Structure 1
Amino acid sequence: MRFLFVSGGSAGAVFPITPLAQAARNAGHEVIVGATENVMPLVAATSLPGAPITSRTMFDFMQRDRHGRQMSIPADPHERNLFNGRGMARLALGSMEGLVPLVESWRPDVIVGGSLSYAAPLLAHRYGLPWVRHALNMGEPVIIDLAAAAELAPEMEEMGLSALPAPDMDIELCPPSVRRPDAGPAQFMRYVPFNTQRALEPWMYTRGDLPRVLVSAGSRISADYEPEALSALVEKVAGLDVELLIAAPQEMADALGKLPDNVRAGWLPLDVVLRTCDLLVHRAGGNTMLHAIVCGVPQLVIPGMPKQVGMSARLADYGAAIMLTAGKDDAPDNVAKACRELLEDPAYAARTRELAAEIASLPTPHEVTQAIVDMVRGRTAA
């Protein structure tokens, strides 16, 4: 069977779908991952075949409207969610340039799209193919889907659609206990951490004498995109008596300059390093959040985008994290206080381990691959 995975334009869109794509390929199926050209090196690092579907980046589509006019990121949280949905819809339209010829020449049997890859349902409808929606994190706000549908309204009308086609299967990665309350029926799948690797050093898989705290501002930060986010986080935890690990693209880590002896910075293999940590401090990236749960690590989350607030709040309400609001209650003193509470109160680690056990009980990517095969065959037989 041929699986076409439609991803987006960042590590956060590529990494969560990788375990299922690898499982499908390991089961003997043919797999191609379609994504923006700039993330093809990331796809190649997964050892999966990748096809570039547009030469433009995700940020190109986010920051410019259909007419090429520059757009600014809204400050209002509701408007920011609308902005995200419309931008991802424009990415879907731009991706058709590469996806249509790929589908017509390769003829996949099923399309698997990341939850914000709106090209997947449009392609599935156009070619009469089954499609699977694959969660990327613990659940995006519904308003993002509605904004995407509004942006795609002219194209959907031409296709005879009044709404985005519903998926034939909805794959959920979120542990049931912290799932969005309004989420519908789904095929649950065990979250399997994936990230690019580097040669391991002994300190990466062993603990030291001090509590170990890992700080991450996300994989997207660069000299051109929110460069201050990393240094701001680091400054807020620098006064703690801990061993501090800073996960960042190497060029951003280098920009931090000379670091104290108890601090290490650079691109880290999180699936290995997180298992040696006592606390994760980050900006609520969905992939990073699930990584930490699997590794049993409590979290201090400071959402960098409005769409991350809901999942962060659910994790905090469950007792596996503390959430602070960026620009409101994330002053250095509050961050340090929250870190100390998370490190000293064992209840946070215990609740995190409960969620980790819940994830471990869910179907594996191999089992979900077979469920997709059965769904496609059943649909064909009908």
Structure 2
Amino acid sequence: MKILFTVGGSQAAVFGVAPLASAARNAGHEILLAADEPLMEAAASVGLPAVCITPERMRYGQESMTATVRLDALLELAGSWTPDLVVGGLSHVPRLLAARLEVPYVRHIWHIAPMARRDRTAVAELQPELERLGLAELPDPDLFIDLCPPPVRPEGAPAARSMRWVPRVSQRRLEPWMYTKPEGRRRVLITAGTRNLMLDTPGSSLRKLVDELTGTGAEVLIAALPEAAEKYGAELGDVRIGWLPLDVVAPTCDLAVHHGGATTAMTLVNSGVPQVIIPDNGYGKAVAESVAGFGAALMVDKHRLAGRDADEVIVEACRTILADPGYAERTRLLAAEAATLPTPGEVLRELEALVAA
């Protein structure tokens, strides 16, 4: 069968859908990934055949502003490559396409933040597109795949087919230190994912954290975009900084400090690494609250410190996790539960059944 996968937003959306798309391709199905121009490189880096549908990155929460352009691009694509099934994420535009083509639609996301209100608003904003296509309403997805492990799913989350998280990120040529634990030292990873150059703000706060961690004898790695390494590397002291394949490096770490991205959080959970999460938006806060609520992380909300110095609170959180093995134990427990979930290959059979029905 032919499956059209669609993503928008950040590289994390590409990495999240890659395991299922790869499983489909490995099973002999034809696949295409429809994405925005800024995501083309990420798609190529994980071996997915991708088609650009818009020149700029889609912003979630602003879907109505680009809905017409995105829908027209998807309809044009489907005119020459007609899918038997459409897989989408947070955006509801692919759902419109599937309804227009009268093929099954699968929603595939990491459901960690409350989305019911935003979903209702987005569907309402798509009413002009529904009318243009002659559709009375937007049908429910035929299948909802959730990558979020049940122990950290938010209360009231819709029923879903859970699927195991499989780390998938851009790779680079490996060096032995990337996959080897440092002898006699603990290792701490710091990252802001791919949306920001550096965690928090470059300069004093991050340098203070690095100095405090190296002062304890820990080795510090900073996973960052190449341009961040070039711009800020010299300011951050004795650290390894640059693009690191997180799935390879994570198992060698004792702690990670990051912004609350889903790909980052789940790749670390998968490797049993406890986390200090400093969310940079509402979605990151939802990730932090859920993982911390399970006992696998500590959250530092910079907006709720009651006059305390943010740098000191972050350093204290790092010290707490490094001194208390309970956080690592809870993380390993969460990883073990997540590992019992169906693999992408197993869930693929349900997609095949949708098309065969």
Q: CA deviation digits over 1:297-316, x for unaligned, max 9?
A: 00111111112322321211
Spell out, residue by residue over 1:326-367, the C-alpha distance to the aligned partner (whole angstroms, 9 max, x if none): 343371111011001111111111111111011110111111
Answer yes or no: is the 8 Å Cα contact 1:2–1:108 preserved in 2: yes
- Structure 2 CA distance for partners of 1:213 and 1:89, relative to 1, 3 Å: farther
Alignment partner for residue 264 of structure 1, among 240, 254, 271?
240
- TM-score between both structures, scaled by the size of structure 1: 0.86
- 1:71 is aligned to none
- After TM superposition, the structure 1 stretch with the greater mean CA deviation from structure 2, 94-103 or 350-359, is 94-103
Q: Does the C-alpha gap of structure 1 residues 306 and 162 become closer, same or farther in structure 2, counting only changes over 3 Å? A: farther
Q: 2:97 corresponds to which residue?
A: 123
C-alpha distance in 2 between matches for 1:315 and 1:373: 33
Hey, what's the Cα distance between the residues in 2 that align with 1:88 and 1:360?
A: 34
Please, which moves more after superposition, 275-284 or 251-260? Answer: 251-260
CA distance in 1, matches of 2:199, 2:124: 32
Greater displacement, 92-101 / 240-249: 92-101
The answer on 1:195 being equivalent to 2:169 is yes
2:82 to 104, 107, 115: 107
Q: 1:27 to 1:139 in 2, by over 3 A?
A: farther
How far the C-alpha of 1:39 sits from its partner, in A, is: 1.5
Tell me whether 1:324 sits opposite 2:300 in the alignment. Answer: yes
Judge conservation of contact 2:261–2:287 (CA < 8 Å) in 1.
no
| Cα shift at 1:5 | 0.1
2:190 maps to a residue whose letter is V
CA distance in 2, matches of 1:117, 1:52: 16
Distance in 2 between the 1:101 and 1:281 partners? 43
- Contact 2:111–2:153 (CA under 8 A) maintained in structure 1: no
Counterpart in 1 of 2:265? Answer: 289
Residues in 1 aligned to 2:205 and 2:172: alpha-carbon distance in whole angstroms: 24
Whether 1:28 aligns to 2:4 is no
In structure 2, C-alpha distance between the alignment counterparts of 1:375 and 1:273, rounded to whole Å: 38
| 1:89-108 matches, cutoff 5 A | 89-108=64-83
Alignment partner, residue 273 of structure 1 = 249
Secondary structure of the residue aligned to 2:276 is: strand
What does residue 138 of structure 1 align with?
Answer: 112
Give the corresponding residue for 1:66.
Answer: none
The question of whether the paired residues in 2 share the 8 Å contact of 1:236 and 1:331 is answered with: no
Post-superposition shift, 1:163? 5.8
Query: Partners in 1 of 2:319 and 2:11 — Cα distance?
Result: 31
Query: Given the alignment, which residue of 123, 129, 144 partners 1:170?
Result: 144
Task: Please report how far the alpha carbon of residue 152 of structure 1 lies from its aligned counterpart in structure 2 after TM superposition.
Answer: 2.1
Shift of 1:294: 0.3
Deviates more, 1:97-106 or 1:144-153: 144-153
Checking the alignment, whether the CA contact within 8 Å between 1:284 and 1:302 is kept in structure 2 is: yes
SS at match of 2:106: strand
Partner of 2:63: 88
Amino acid at match of 1:321: A
CA root-mean-square deviation: 2.1
CA contact (8 A) 1:196 1:269 kept: yes
Most deviating of 137-146 and 94-103: 137-146
TM-score (norm 2): 0.91
- Structure 1 residues 180 and 93: CA distance shift in structure 2, 3 A: farther
Name the % identity. Answer: 45
1:78-104 Cα deviation digits (max 9, x unpaired)? xxxxxx42x134344322232111112
SS at match of 1:229: coil
Provide structure 1 residue ranges, at least 5 long, that are not aligned to the other structure: 63-83
Structure 2 runs not aligned, ≥5 long? none
- SS of 2:353's equivalent? helix
Aligned to 1:243: 219
Deviation at 1:376, TM superposition (A): 2.0
Q: Which amino acid aligns with 2:19?
A: P
Q: Which amino acid aligns with 2:112?
A: M
| Structure 2 Cα separation of the partners of residues 292 and 139 of structure 1 | 19
Distance 1:257 1:307, change over 3 A: closer
Q: Which residue of 2 aligns with 1:375?
A: 354
Distance in 1 (alpha carbons) for counterparts of 2:248 and 2:185: 18
The Cα of 1:13 is off from its aligned counterpart by 1.3
Letter matched to residue 77 of structure 2 = L
Deviation at 1:105, TM superposition (A): 1.6
CA change 1:40–1:272 in 2 (3 A) is same
Q: Which amino acid aligns with 1:272?
A: V
> For residues 214-268 of structure 1, what are the alpha-carbon distances to aligned partners after superposition, in whole Å with 9 as ceiling and x for unaligned?
111120124xxx8863546623522122211111101111211426664110000
- The one-letter amino acid of 2:100's match is R
The aligned amino acid for 2:189 is: L
CA contact under 8 A between 1:6 and 1:112: conserved in structure 2? Answer: yes
Q: Using a 3 Å threshold, how does the CA distance of structure 1 residues 261 and 158 change in structure 2: closer, same or farther? A: closer
1:357 equivalent in structure 2: 336
Q: Distance in 1 between matches of 2:155 and 2:100?
A: 32
Q: What is the match of residue 340 of structure 1?
A: 319
Q: Which residue of 2 aligns with 1:148?
A: 122
How much does 1:210 deviate? Answer: 2.1
Cα distance in structure 1, aligned partners of 2:2 and 2:205: 43
Change (3 A) 1:264 1:140: farther
Shift of 1:41: 1.6
Could you say if the C-alpha distance between residues 137 and 211 of structure 1 is closer, same or farther in structure 2, counting changes exceeding 3 Å? farther
Change (3 A) 1:260 1:202: farther
- Alignment match, 1:312: 288
Matched pairs, number? 349
